[in-house]
Amino acid sequence: MEDTNTKVGNFRWTICFLVFFATTINYLDRQVISLLKPILEKEFNWSESDYSNIVIAFTLAYAIGMLGVGRIIDKIGTKLGYAFSLILWSIAAILHAFANSTFSFAAYRALLGVSEAGNFPAAIKTVAEWFPKKERALATGIFNSGTNIGAILAPIAVPWLAITYSWQMAFIATGAVGLIWLILWFAMYEIPSKHKKLSKAEFDYIHSDVEPEQEKGEESPKIPWLKLLTYKQTWSFILGKFLTDGIWWFFLFWLPAFLISEYGLEGMEVTFPIVVVYTMTCFGSILGGWLPMWFVKSKGWSIVRARKTSMFIYALFPLMVIFSQQAGSVNMWYAVIIIGIAASAHQAWSANIFTTVSDMFPKSSIGSVIGMGGMAGGLGGMAIAKLAGKLFDHYKALGHIQTGYYIMFFICGLAYLTAWFVMFRLLVPKMTPIVDEK
């Protein structure tokens, strides 16, 4: 299989790049506010709870959007669903520039959340349409690394835009990038059965491990939404996302504030540590997708064994973040590296938890299940944001905000092992696929 791309072609990786580009834009737009927090909290007199409530507005709207957007994408298709979502979130990102109060920031943040909810259901559905099962974790890891690239570009571009022009321009410029993607998407995307640039050999390879009726590009009947909730497989994904998504969002929205509070960084000084963290997560995301494929190809393991083993390995690394402050008391870079390792492990975990859906569900229901899990992840993120705001306000008043961060890092460290146990010991130890129902 080592020369598969030479034999069958590699146009599917072009599609993967398009999804990577969209995910990069998604996280670029999402992270702007965390980098402008020092400026905005002075201009609008925000407390830590005010900021956490704005984060909650995003996560709650994201969760609500996730509940329905996956089903919509299943109905109207990946091409239109993805494009519609990106248009809306680009507009929402630009509207932040016109906010003049804490309430209007929360409102525009909610609009961004509900529209950005379309990215991952559409992305995972695209991967399921364009890749065989053995390559899906790698493809997911590659496109998911776009979250890291977006998080790297943001601290480079956003402070510069804010200092050189204004904080409003930072929102406008980053929000407008999505329009470039739309041109490429409409010019290059179509499902495999209708794509004129896809060779028959590559089409056959993409469908080499799916059901016979799907080899011709046909989709099985959609499983009713309520019926999906009766499966342990659905709840495995829902609870896995609920327990771990909020951890990533905590790093995304509070890492700049942690570095500023803990080490007194100012202005552009925060840029390089954040770039280091998210550069590390790029490798974690891609390695996370590669490792289970390596287990399958090199050791002859089943997809199930490879997926579960890989995710257990990834769940161990976040434990290190519990000790990040102690290490950081010696040198800031020890804390930065440890947080980078924990964030990298999350991205490796994320590449695989998404792929468990395409491992266990027919393509026609993937968007719906991803949406359910995405809603649960949003609710988990909302709970983490609310807890963080309360803890930080409380300990800031006592002059010990570092204690608040220690509690949050302790929660972050244990989240993944807890999720792994719930998913693969309690709910789906065999990851049995759902049989299509007529």
Residue 285 has pLDDT above 60, yes or no: yes
- Residue 211 domain flag: no
> What pLDDT, on the 0 to 100 scale, is given for residue 172?
93
Angle (CA) 101-177-257 rounded to 5° is 50
- Residue 299 domain flag: yes
- Residue 301 domain flag: yes
> What pLDDT, on the 0 to 100 scale, is given for residue 243?
96
> What pLDDT, on the 0 to 100 scale, is given for residue 318?
96
> What pLDDT, on the 0 to 100 scale, is given for residue 213?
42
Instruction: Report residue 430: phi and psi, to 5°.
Output: -105, -5
The proportion of the chain whose per-residue pLDDT surpasses 70, expressed as a percent, equals 95
> What pLDDT, on the 0 to 100 scale, is given for residue 47?
82
Specify the higher pLDDT residue, 273 or 285.
273
pLDDT tens, position by position, 339-359: 999 999 998 998 899 889 988
Q: Is 344 helix (H, G, I), strand (E, B) or coil?
A: helix
| Average pLDDT of every residue of the chain | 86
> What pLDDT, on the 0 to 100 scale, is given for residue 408?
93
- Residue 261 domain flag: yes
Residue 414 has pLDDT above 50, yes or no: yes
Could you tell me which residues come within 8 angstroms of residue 77 by beta carbon, excluding any fewer than 6 positions away?
Answer: 191
Tokens 């949406």 belong to residue: 371
Residue 363 has pLDDT above 80, yes or no: no
Are 363 and 129 in contact by the 8 Å Cβ rule? The answer is yes
> What pLDDT, on the 0 to 100 scale, is given for residue 260?
85
> What pLDDT, on the 0 to 100 scale, is given for residue 88?
93
> What pLDDT, on the 0 to 100 scale, is given for residue 23?
92
pLDDT tens, position by position, 3-23: 445 577 788 899 999 999 999
Segments forming the whole domain that contains residue 276: 11-190+225-427
- Rounded to two decimals, what is the model's pTM? 0.73
pLDDT tens, position by position, 18-39: 999 999 999 888 888 888 888 8
Specify the higher pLDDT residue, 363 or 175.
175
pLDDT tens, position by position, 291-350: 988 998 888 899 899 999 999 999 999 999 999 988 888 899 999 999 999 999 998 998
- DSSP states along 68-132: HHHHHHHHH-HHHHHHHHHHHHHHHHHHGGG--SHHHHHHHHHHHHHHHTTHHHHHHHHHHHHS-
Specify the higher pLDDT residue, 430 or 67.
430
- Residue 216 domain flag: no
> What pLDDT, on the 0 to 100 scale, is given for residue 244?
96
- Residue 219 domain flag: no
- Residue 100 domain flag: yes
> What pLDDT, on the 0 to 100 scale, is given for residue 221?
63
Question: Which among 47-51, 96-100, 214-218, 313-317 has the top mean pLDDT?
Answer: 313-317
Domain count, the chain: 1
Q: What is the CATH number of the domain that holds 388?
A: 1.20.1250.20
Specify the higher pLDDT residue, 308 or 279.
308
- Residue 159 domain flag: yes
Residue 83's nearest CA partner among 138, 33, 25 is 25
* Lowest model confidence (mean pLDDT) among 98-102, 133-137, 389-393: 133-137
Task: Return the CA Rg of the chain.
Answer: 21
